[in-house]
Amino acid sequence: MDLGLKDKVAIVTGGSSGIGFATAGLLLGEGAKVAICARGEERLDTAFLQLQAEFAGAEVMAQPCDVLDEKQVAALVKAVKERWGGIDILVNNAGRGRQTTFMETTDAAWREELNLKFFSLIYPIRAVYPVMKERGGGRIININAVLSRQPEAHMVATSAARSGVLNLTKSLSTEFAPDNILVNSVNIGTVKSGQWKARFEKYSQGGGSLNEDEWQRGEAAKRGIPLGRMGEPDEVAHAIVFLASAGASYITGASIDVAGGTGRYI
């Protein structure tokens, strides 16, 4: 099936690892031109070289960028536009979650979490909007979580912030519809990626005796995931790529759960 992504230009934030890296690979495989960004230069370089090697002849670029720094985001958008003439797709994926209850969450932690969840979208969207408008349309895909609709007490700040971002996605889909810029959300459950590797390392360093696979299956069971396992980054990336594709031309303001059946709401 032709997804209509050949020569489309995409920016994937947080593209050096996990879901972002998998998304960049799928987009390149469809013939899109892809720019990835992240803060850590070493991991970004490794990801860039891996993508270049896997998709020989594909157009890929990597630029260090903290999505919470508006100047760095503007520089990234400018560089992509100068290189490829425009931007069609923005995948707002950079970020991480925070595991704290309400009483554990300090003012500073609240501010940091709200800042991360909102401004990791606000700066890239503000920068790409005029470029997409000039191009006659575009796709913005915000990576969110099931937590946005089903909060978890042990991730109180992340849950609250994610709800706000879901709300923002809906507002943007209305505001940008006349410009043919479609804005959607992919809500994740529990996906095996960098964040979970880091949590496993913490568990091991704390004396945990399970291997990574056993630990991940245990975490999936604790969360009562109906499909009985964590998701793979690729399984999320496929939904992102669909929302970026020609076939999703009448979908905006939607949120799609890619969460193995978690999200016990109607």
Residue numbers of the site for ligand NAP (CB under 6 A)?
Answer: 13-14, 16-20, 37-40, 43, 65-68, 93-97, 143, 145, 188, 190-191, 193-196, 233
Nearer to ligand NAP, 59 or 232 (CB): 232
Nearer to ligand NAP, 138 or 263 (CB): 263
Nearer to ligand NAP, 19 or 157 (CB): 19
For the CB of residue 261, give the shortest distance to ligand NAP in the complex, in Å. 15
For the CB of residue 159, give the shortest distance to ligand NAP in the complex, in Å. 11
**Residue 97: HSE in the Cβ half-sphere, 13 Å Cα cutoff:** 28
Taking every pair of Cα atoms in the chain, the longest distance, rounded to a whole number of angstroms, is 56
For the CB of residue 1, give the shortest distance to ligand NAP in the complex, in Å. 26
For the CB of residue 96, give the shortest distance to ligand NAP in the complex, in Å. 5
Nearer to ligand NAP, 182 or 259 (CB): 259
For the CB of residue 17, give the shortest distance to ligand NAP in the complex, in Å. 4
* Contact criterion met (CB below 8 Å) for 19 and 237: yes
Nearer to ligand NAP, 69 or 179 (CB): 69
Nearer to ligand NAP, 6 or 264 (CB): 264
Nearer to ligand NAP, 18 or 25 (CB): 18
Crossing angle for the helix pair 70-84 and 107-135, to the nearest 10 degrees: 20
Tokens of 201: 């390392």
For the CB of residue 109, give the shortest distance to ligand NAP in the complex, in Å. 15
For the CB of residue 258, give the shortest distance to ligand NAP in the complex, in Å. 10
Burial category of 125 from C-beta neighbours within 10 Å (exposed 0-12, middle 13-18, buried 19 and up): buried
Residue nearest to ligand NAP (CB): 18
For the CB of residue 189, give the shortest distance to ligand NAP in the complex, in Å. 7
Comparing CA positions, the residue from 141, 162, 150, 139 lying closest to residue 223 is 150
Nearer to ligand NAP, 22 or 135 (CB): 22
